Amino acid sequence: MNDLPLIDIAVIVVYLAAMIFIGFYFSRRNKNPEQFTIASGKIPGWAIGLSIYATFLSSNTFLGVPGKAFGSNWNAFVFSLSMPLAAWIAAKYFVPFYRRTGGVSAYTNLEQRFGPWARTYAVICFLLTQFARIGSIFFGMALSLQALTGFSMHMIMVVMGICIILYTVLGGIEAVIWTEVVQGVIKTLGAILILVLIIREIPGGILKVADIAAADNKFSLGSASFDFTTSTFWMVLLYGFFINLNNFGMDQNYVQRYHTASSPKQAARSVWLCVWMYVPASLLFFVIGTALYAYYQVSPELIEPVRLQVAAERLGTGATPEQIQQLAASLKPGDFGDKVLPHFMVTKVPAGLVGLIVSAILSAAMSTISSGMNASATVFTVDIVKKYFRPDLDDKRYLRVLHIATVVFGITGLCTGLAMIGSKSILDIWWELSGIFAGGMLGLFLLGLISRQTRNREAFTAVLIGIAVILWMTFSDRLSGNYAFLRSPLHKNMIIVVGTLTIFLTGMLLTRIRQAQSRIVE
């Protein structure tokens, strides 16, 4: 880290050492699978709430949200506004359901409802979602640290991946939760510090930011028209509601935490604590992005290095200075939004504070990655290994498989992040991939929970139709020529909405048809 002062390096090293120490501390308790996966159900509700909040507040939020606000407006904030309704449904129905069923995996009940195929399908969807999530977070973390340290993104991802894997394997879910409590506090304080530093650099302060933002329509939440082909208010609200319903209802990262609570009431409280913390925190990051926009509008020459860097990366090593200058001049704010916050940190944050902010960015990434690794390992071991290969695993071998699976999923997520290098927007990547993988899973879960008369055959048929619709919406934009009319007219973020509703409504319709036929026969 030759580009960082010694004091900042020391702060970062101390933070990483503290995270690994927590892993070692809790490793003494991880003597059985129950402790590794649910901490024996002894975590207080407030700690679980902070943990879920920290998982939501990933580096996708820390870097992607300011980048979005800088490049466009506050349309993406509507995603956060959808959380209270999803949380209400989760606290009232999902938490009691999972606490009553008792299984550590979120997908065991699908087998009891529809058969082994349903459980395996949901597990595959979840694991694919985690690969996308962990990869995008590795990518976002490396993007900012590269600007600060000068090291390659590949090296940053590998080094940080080793640290995260180490404390997650050692400490299990208990270490994950308590490190996330610390990380949730650090990343929130880091965001407040960043905003203060930006406002301090702008003549006129927050009032000047408000004037510039209002003049350029940066506070807009999107068009109020019921147009689902573009990113309108209603499109993002629908997308956010279904994604958050999936998070609270089907995502092993959150469902597993419900089992770590001492009671169902504590588990439900943790969901609400997460929501009441995340909504204002996400707003804070939109304010940061808008403040950065105002700052670089006041001093546009200060953003030129970012324009040139992005242009050079797009053109490659053979580009001439004239070509780079020409492309840089044509770039819009949305083309380089994710790089603006790291650039500000490099050029304007004083020594000593950079280390604190880097630690906040690291904590934003590490909390979500470690949570995803633990949840993925739990699901793989319970729903795949024990189900199909080794149902007679004793506790010692069970714990060993959990450890190995944690390492494997950490490495897989790291490789996904490496593959994302060069992508345009962290938030866009994550939103699109999560919608694709999560749509079918949520639709099947709601079908099983709400329609008690639906049978295995009807659910299976509905899922096949839902998968076909999801694949069509995902890849139809590649059709051209005589087949262009077959393209999906809807925005890509509508995939989870349409996929979920297709499976649920098709299953309900097939159930009604069967019941009608049965009445005719009788």
Q: What was the pLDDT predicted at 522?
A: 63
pLDDT tens for each residue of 342-386: 888 878 888 778 788 878 777 777 877 888 888 888 988 888 888
Predicted confidence at residue 269, as pLDDT, reads 92
* Residues paired with residue 240 on neighbouring β-strands, in sequence order: none
Average pLDDT over residues 470-483: 83
Residue 289's pLDDT band, with cuts at 50, 70 and 90, is: very high
CA distance readout (Å), 110 to 376, 387, 419, 454: 17, 13, 33, 12
Question: Quick one: tokens of 123?
Answer: 């597990």
Residue 425, pLDDT above cutoff 70: no
Q: Per CATH, the architecture of 6-521 is what?
A: Up-down Bundle (1.20)
Q: What pLDDT, on a 0 to 100 scale, did the predictor assign at position 1?
A: 40
Predicted pLDDT at 437: 65
Query: Pick from 53, 461, 110: which is nearest to 272 by CA?
Result: 53
- DSSP secondary structure letter of residue 302: G
Q: What is the mean pLDDT of the chain?
A: 85
Q: How far apart are CA 363 and CA 58, in angstroms?
A: 8
Give Rg (Cα) of the chain.
23
Q: Is the pLDDT of residue 508 over 80?
A: yes
pLDDT band at 2 (very low <50, low <70, confident <90, very high): very low
Amino acid letter, residue 507: G
DSSP string across 438-484: HHHHHHHHHHHHH-TT--HHHHHHHHHHHHHHHHHHHHGGG--GGGG
Contact 162, 360 (CB under 8 A): no
pLDDT value, residue 253: 83
Q: How far apart are CA 179 and CA 363, in angstroms?
A: 9
Query: Around Cβ 256, how many Cβ atoms within 10 Å?
Result: 23
Q: What is the pLDDT of residue 433?
A: 63
pLDDT number for residue 422: 63
Average pLDDT of span 138-165: 80
pTM: 0.83
Q: Is the pLDDT of residue 395 over 70?
A: yes
Q: How far is CA 191 from CA 30, 271, 280, 282, in A?
A: 34, 22, 12, 10
Supply the DSSP string of 240-268, one letter for each residue: HHHHHHHHHHH-HHHHHHHHHBSSHHHHH
Nearest in space to 266 (alpha carbons), one of 6, 43, 76: 43
3-class DSSP state for residue 40? helix
Output the CA torsion sign for 129, 135, 139, 145: positive
Q: What are phi and psi of 358, to 5 degrees?
A: -60, -40
| pLDDT value of position 83 | 94
CA distance 22 to 6: 24
pLDDT digit string, tens, across residues 160-194: 888 888 888 887 888 888 888 888 888 888 889 88
Residue 200 burial (C-beta neighbours within 10 Å; 0-12, 13-18, 19+): exposed
What are 39-44's contacts with CB under 8 Å, separation 24+?
39/172, 39/173, 39/174, 39/177, 39/260, 41/259, 41/260, 41/261, 41/262, 42/260, 42/262, 43/174, 43/177, 43/257, 43/260, 43/261, 43/262, 44/261, 44/262, 44/266
Q: What does the pLDDT look like over 21-33, one tens digit per residue?
A: 887 887 777 777 7
CA–CA dist 420, 500 (Å, integer) = 27
Q: What is the pLDDT of residues 231-270, one digit of tens each?
A: 899 999 998 999 898 888 888 888 888 888 888 899 999 9
For the chain, what are the domain ranges?
6-521
What confidence tens digit (pLDDT) does each residue in 428-456 have?
A: 565 566 666 666 788 888 888 888 888 89
Q: What is the pLDDT of residues 75-85, one digit of tens each?
A: 999 999 999 99
**What is the structure's pLDDT at 55?**
80
